[in-house]
């Protein structure tokens, strides 16, 4: 077992680099959050997503304000949260900006459909939640978007793609 010494805390609290190093030890589901219509879509890879309530079904997603999808989600008032399966790592990397594609180009060559809200939903995702934006809270560099889940679908036989210690993990291979 390896223990890492806790860095001396600054008077205002922990620095960002130390915080990120600690948070890399929390395994998280990998999601693609998507919004918009063909020709004007935006999306990103995110792990800061959580169920908020089941009555009514709501979810929260934390999106950096500099993200190209941030303002588009606020404008469209709808988004999808697509939980990726272990065979979708390349999609996670594409929507994380690896390879340089941006905006609608990230959606090319993938199957997308629309459910109730009209937001793009990724075909073949482990699970997809179709959401109507009902609230937004700004905090420093991010906004917390709260979505009412209107519809969804899942692929029961798939395994999840996880993000842990700065890398993607497939539970079937580890």
Q: Residue 30, SS3?
A: coil
From first to last of its 174 residues, the chain has per-residue pLDDT tens of 555 555 554 457 899 888 888 888 877 899 999 999 999 999 999 999 999 999 999 999 999 999 999 999 999 999 999 999 999 999 999 999 998 889 999 999 999 999 999 999 999 999 999 999 999 999 999 999 999 999 999 999 999 998 888 878 787 765
- d(CA 81, CA 130) in angstroms, rounded, equals 7
What's the fold here for domain 17-170?
Pnp Oxidase; Chain A (2.30.110)
* Closest CA relative to residue 151, chosen from 112, 110, 111, 119: 119
Q: What is the DSSP letter of 103?
A: G
pTM for this predicted structure: 0.88
Alpha helices in 42-139 (DSSP H): 70-76, 89-95
Sequence ranges of the domains in the chain:
17-170
């Amino acid at each position: 077992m390896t223990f890492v010494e806790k860095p001396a805390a600054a008077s205002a609290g922990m620095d960002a680099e130390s915080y990120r190093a600690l948070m890399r030890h929390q395994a998280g589901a990998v999601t693609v959050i998507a919004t918009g219509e063909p020709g004007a879509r935006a999306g990103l890879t995110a792990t800061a997503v959580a169920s908020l309530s089941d009555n009514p079904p709501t979810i929260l997603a934390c999106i950096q304000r500099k993200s190209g999808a941030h303002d588009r989600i606020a404008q469209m008032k709808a988004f999808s949260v697509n939980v990726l399966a272990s065979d979708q790592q390349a999609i996670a990397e594409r929507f994380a900006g690896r390879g340089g594609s941006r905006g609608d180009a990230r959606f090319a060559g993938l199957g997308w459909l629309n459910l109730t809200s009209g937001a793009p939903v990724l075909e073949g995702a482990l699970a997809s939640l179709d959401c109507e934006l009902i609230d937004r809270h700004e905090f420093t560099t991010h906004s917390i978007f709260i979505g009412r889940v209107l519809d969804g679908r899942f692929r029961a036989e798939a395994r999840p793609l996880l993000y842990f210690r700065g890398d993607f993990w497939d539970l079937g291979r580890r």
